[in-house]
Amino acid sequence: MTSPAGPAPVPSFPPGVPGASGAPGAPAWPTAPAPVVPAAAPPAPAPPLAPMGPQALPGVEANGTFQAPKQPSASTPGKGAVPTQPGRPASSTPVQPAQPARPAADAARRAMALVRTEIGKAVVGQDAAVTGLIIGLLAGGHVLLEGVPGVAKTLLVRSLAAALSLETKRVQFTPDLMPGDVTGSLIYDQRGSRFEFQPGPVFTNLLLADEINRTPPKTQASLLEAMEERQVTVEGSPRPLPDPFMVIATQNPVEYEGTYPLPEAQLDRFLLKLVLPLPPREDEVQILARHAAGFNPRDLPGAGIQAVAGAQDLRAARAAAAAVAAQPAVLGYIVDVCRATRQSPSVELGASPRAATALLATAKAWAFLQGRDYVTPDDVKALTIPTLQHRLSLRIEATSEGGSAEKVLGTVLASVPVPR
C-alpha cells in the first residue's frame, strides 16, 4: 500500500488487535516529529492518528494481500532514507537502502499473503487478528487471544491450519483437567506387559488452548516446557514436539468467576496478546449474508478454504523474517522503550529483556510482511502494545484510578525519543 509524499504516519492497528486499547474515544497516539530534510520548503508535520476505529492495516490491501510500500524518491523525504554514517559528510539527497533481488523472500511473502486471503473466506472482520497470528508464526512465538464468545476465535485457528496444511488440535480447559490430559502419559499395555507413552494433544502443530484461564495453575504450568523448550518430559524422558509448534490460547474477558488468571511467568511466554473486538455493522451483515447463502463454519472445504502453503513455505518465511536487519539505533530504541516501562510510576513489574527480544522479533516479522529488509522505529511502535501489554503488572493504585497497560505504553511511546 503506497503512501503520499511526506513523512509516513505511525503504523497502527484496528481496535484491540494488535496495538489498540479498543476503548471508545481512545486518544490518538502521538506521532514522532517529521525528520528535518533540506528542501525548498519544509515538509509538513506528520498528521496525528485518528482515534482508534476500524481502519486498514498499514501495508495490507483490502483483498488481504501484503503490499510493500514504495521507496521514496531522491527528492522526497521518508523512512527509506539511510542516516548519514559517522565521519561521512551529510548529503542533501537521502541515500536509498540497497534492495537486492530476494526471490526466496518474495515467494515466502506471497505465500503468507495467500494464507491471509484464504482465511478471509471464512473469517470476516478480524483482519488484524489474522495478521497478528501470521506475525506470531513468523517469529516462532505463541499468541494469547482475548475476546467475548462468538467472535470466531476457534474458526480463525482452524482456518489458519487449513490454509497452511498444518495439524491442529483443540483442548477445552476445565477445572478438572489434569496435566497428563494435555502432555500425555504412560499407559500400561497388558498385551506387552510394559508401559507405553500415549501422546497428548500437545503433540500437534497448532494447539488451541480454549479458555486457558478456567483450569488450575498446575495444568496451566504443564504447557510451560512445551512453549519454551518445544518438548515434553514424561518420566524423565524428553519428547520433542512437531515443527512448527504454536500454542494459541483463548480467554474470556467478561467472566472471571471460577477462573484462574495466568501468572506473569506464563503470560511472558506468549509473544503477542491480541484482542478480538466485535465486528462493525458492515462486517456483521456480511457474516449473516454468508450464513444465509449456506456457509457452514464446520465445513471449511465447503467454504472454499484449501491449502495454499505448507510447512516448507513457513520455514522459508521465518528465515527471511529472521534475516531482516535492525540498525543499532533501532536496537537502542527497543531497549529504551522497555526500560521506560520499568521506570513508570504506574508499573510494578516492567518489560524484561525477554520482552525486548520479543519486540525485536515481531518488528522484524512486520517489516518482512511490508516488503522491507530493515526495521524502522515505526515497526517497533506498531508492535509495542500487542507485544508488551500482557507483560506489564500495574500497581493497585494505578488500576484503581482507571490505568491500564495500554495507556502506560502509549505514554512511554510518546516520551521515548525516536532515533533519526
Give the SS3 label for residue 213: helix
pTM (predicted TM-score) = 0.75
| pLDDT tops 90 at residue 415 | yes
Give the SS3 label for residue 361: helix
Separation CA 383–CA 367 (nearest Å): 11
Give the SS3 label for residue 146: strand
Before 83, cis peptide (omega within 30)?
no
Residue that is written with C-alpha cell 502521538 in the block: 30
3-state helix, strand, coil in the chain (%, to 5): 40, 15, 50
| pLDDT tops 50 at residue 109 | yes
Tell me which amino acid residue 71 is: Q
Kindly state the percentage of the chain with pLDDT values over 70.
76
pLDDT (mean) for 280-299: 93
| pLDDT tops 60 at residue 308 | yes
pLDDT (mean) for 169-187: 92
| pLDDT tops 90 at residue 71 | no
pLDDT digit string (tens) for 315-335? 999 999 999 999 999 999 999
Side-chain half-sphere CA neighbours of 239 within 13 A = 17
Separation CA 277–CA 410 (nearest Å): 20
Separation CA 380–CA 90 (nearest Å): 26
Give me the domains of the chain, ranges plus CATH numbers. 11-20+100-319 (3.40.50.300), 324-420 (1.10.8.80)
pLDDT digit string (tens) for 117-157? 999 999 998 999 999 999 999 999 999 999 999 999 999 99
